[in-house]
Amino acid sequence: MVTTDKEIARRLEETDSARSARRQRVAATVGDLARRHTDLAGQLADLERELGEVLTAAGDVIDVPELAAVTDVPAADLTQWRDQTTKSTRAGKRKRPDIAKKSGSPGKDSPEATPPRATRPTGPAPEAGGNGGQVLAAAST
C-alpha cells in the first residue's frame, strides 16, 4: 500500500518539528554559554589587571623571584601580569606623524626612493595556436 499525501505531509511535519525543537535548544544553550564566557573573560581580565597593578606597586618591596618562591606561583605568570599592566598604559599614546609625507619629500616607500628593478629578457612570443589553445603568461620577478 502506498502512503497518502496527507500521511507523508504529517510525517514530514513531525520530523521537522522535532528537529526544530532540538535546533532551538542547541541555539539557546550556545547563547547562554557564550554570555557566560563573555562575563568570565571580563572578570578574568579585571583580575589580571589588578594582579599587575599590585605587582607593579610592590616591586620596591618584593621582587618577582622571591614572590614566586613564597607563593608557588610561577615567576613567568607573575612577570606576564606585571608587564601586561605596564604595556596597557603605553598603548594609548599616539605615534609621531610621518614628516616626509607632509613635506612632500620622498619617503622610503615612494617610487623615487626605490631603485628600478632589473627586468629579465623574455623570449619571443609563442606562436598563435602552437600550445593547444592555452594562454601562457610570463612571470615577472
Q: What is the dihedral of CA 57, 60, 63, 66, to 10 degrees?
A: -110
- The model's pLDDT over 18-53, given as tens digits with 9 standing for 90+, comes to 889 999 999 999 999 999 999 999 999 999 999 999
Amino acid at 7: E
Nearest of 40, 42, 44 to residue 81 by alpha carbon: 44
Interacting residues of 81 by C-beta distance below 8 A, sequence separation 6+: 48, 51, 52, 55
Using one digit for the tens of pLDDT, what is the confidence trace for 89-136? 555 555 655 555 555 555 555 555 555 566 665 656 555 555 554 544
Q: Report if residue 49 sits inside a domain.
A: yes
Q: List alpha helices for 4-98, DSSP H.
A: 5-57, 64-71, 75-90
Range of the domain at 54: 5-92
Residue 102 lies in a domain: no
Domain-embedded: residue 117: no
> What pTM was estimated for this model as a whole?
0.48
